Structure 1
């Protein structure tokens, strides 16, 4: 039941070959780059992981591969995004059996459930798994908000422990802290609000551009934690044009293209997604190339006092 809800946790991309099969060699390369940079957890099968296009078997393969690569050094979270309560409970059971350390759980997919139905959904999952749970609260993209009153009801379950806060309302962090103290841990889920969220009391950051820039992402977290705010701000301000690639309908393609430029990924996506093309591709490449041209020299962020 104990889980350390803090630090940088990449929502990693899924690597595919040109034949549309899992590219486990490239996937391993990226996971190792994340671990080397000092990330504090790995999140599998999220939006960036193209979860909606993955089979259950592929998700299991990715989970087992990640556990093989990271061992006990870094916890691994499996995302649960299902259409039915029964399917979510089964997915949680399989994740536990294959070694997941915790779960990130979205509200029901497709059906816009009522508040009562959403609470029942999360409760049913929580009482059917011993794994710690982080609720993904993203009303902007998924059209369902988990309100503070709903969290009040959910927190009767000890294993509901954290929220991936993606409402894009920074003041919501203070509302959560005022109401629940440290009972509900907060991880920012929006790259362009990450440092602001950490400074307002969030314990961690479920990150996107970390997939291509792991060291810079972890450096921002560690610097602000050590009270070196100006140093964190300097990196964050450089990073912002890249971070904005995360708040875009084609965030998967954007971030995979960035991974190509940093040598730890490929552009291969699973249809119906297609790689970027035309003017938008040129715009994204310009953002990436400008970022690389002005890439900051990082301090020794792993050994801060």
Structure 2
């Protein structure tokens, strides 16, 4: 079982009702908007998906629901963010039963594992599932960096295939290419560095603001891939103030507000998160309002796929 690691894969938000249960109806509305825009995969249960607040049963329901909605058009991945190796293996095996086609995987949560422990953690999961794995490398937010020497060891596992590159160091894309060629696919994971990373050779983009602006996000990817860099850059420059809502501690609330503005979400979050208020809310609303007011006309970016 393998995945084509390319294109735009939204790290989707989890939709909640006013009663704090899964809002599967609005969830489906958003997933269908992503598919209509031409995304290349769906990633569930990441930071944006409020993974730390979801029960195992809810993760299972979301996986099965998404698999049902996409009907094999694109792969469905779920994030593994666990405190123990045992729990991570169980989560991977449950995801496989639920129909997921791949895993995004963080290093161990809470305990700051050293390099040896982190490698063994990833390998133990890889050796106990047939699903392809994308290692989420985000030392800025999670405190553990997966280094090139660690990837040397990890790539002995055939199903560790990709990295979500979120180190914030653009030159890391080139280092990975120089060291591993196409053996380790690169999905850029920082919205505000996305186009730069793609132009340096990243294969795809695990995106955040795509949750509210799917067409613009896919258009940037397709245009740069087709060599129409100037057009991609114009959209990206318009997009940047919105993309900056993703590199913020309140990214979930920010992006859910944007989803409300584009009609494909609600702002319900799960406590301890609370909806934005006051000046913080006003600022985010102004950024979104300005973005909508100046929203660019998009070329027929889907037809560009024919020339790849």
Q: Structure 2 length as normaliser, TM-score?
A: 0.99
- Show CA shifts across 1:210-237 (max 9, x none): 0000000000000000000000000000
* Counterpart residue number, 2:162: 162
* Moved >4 Å (runs of 4+): none
CA distance in 2, matches of 1:246, 1:2: 29
Counterpart residue number, 1:262: 262
Contact in 1 for aligned 2:2/2:131 (Cα 8 Å) = no
Q: What is the deviation of 1:3?
A: 1.2
Instruction: For 2:4 and 2:179, locate their aligned partners in 1 and report how far apart those are by CA, in whole Å.
Output: 21
Residues 1:24 and 2:24 are matched in the alignment: yes
- TM-score calculated relative to the size of structure 1: 1.00
Partner of 1:211 in structure 2?
211
Q: CA deviation at 1:2?
A: 2.2
Aligned length: 305
Residue 37 in structure 1 maps to residue 10 in structure 2: no
2:281 is matched with 281
Secondary structure of the 2:32 match is helix
Deviation at 1:59, TM superposition (A): 0.4
Structure 1 unaligned blocks of 5 or more:
none
* Corresponding residue of 2:252: 252
Residue equivalent to 2:77: 77
1:110-259 correspondence to structure 2 within 5 Å:
110-259=110-259
1:152-200 superposed Cα distances (whole Å, 9 cap, x missing partner): 0000011000000000000000000000000000000000000000000
Q: Secondary structure at the match of 1:264?
A: coil
Q: Distance in 2 between matches of 1:284 and 1:78?
A: 28
The alignment partner of 2:83 has SS state of coil
Q: For structure 2, which runs of at least 5 residues remain unmatched after alignment?
A: none
Counterparts of 1:242 and 1:111, CA distance in 2: 33
What is the RMSD of the two structures over their aligned residues, measured on CA atoms? 0.4
1:122 counterpart SS class? helix
> SS of the residue aligned with 2:20?
coil
